[in-house]
Amino acid sequence: MPYLSEEVAVLEGLIGAYFTSPNLSEEMRRDYIAVHRHIEDGALTRTDYQKIRSAVDLLLPLHKSSPSEYKLLVGVLTKTTSMLVTH
């Protein structure tokens, strides 16, 4: 898996906090639950990387006030974009 354990924890937390809400469409919740499962299994697909990139793009502005979180998310975004090039 290309992500460090700290990055995995952040991704799992973001997915759990923002993308499992009953206010989201059933399809979106199902998609991100699948991404979460694939992270845990170490079996991410190109579609998973695309969804991760979209999620981090959306949430990055919310974390600007915390330099350490912001830096970590930028790193995840960079790594995810790189993985999309190779998948």
Of the candidates 59, 56, 47, the one whose C-alpha atom is nearest the C-alpha of residue 83 is 47
The pLDDT of residue 7 = 92
Three-state DSSP class for residue 3: coil
Instruction: Output the pLDDT for position 9.
Output: 92
40's tokens: 């845990």
Q: Using the predicted structure, report yes or no on whether residue 1 has a pLDDT greater than 70.
A: no
**pLDDT of 11:** 92
Supply the mean pLDDT for the chain. Answer: 92
Counting other chains too, the contacts that 35-38 makes at CB distance below 8 Å and 24 or more residues apart are 36/12
CA distance 87 to 75: 18
pLDDT tens, position by position, 44-86: 999 999 999 999 999 999 989 999 989 999 999 999 999 999 8
Could you report the per-residue pLDDT of 11-43, keeping only the tens digit for each? 999 998 999 888 999 999 999 999 999 999 989
Which residue's entry shows tokens 């997915």? 15
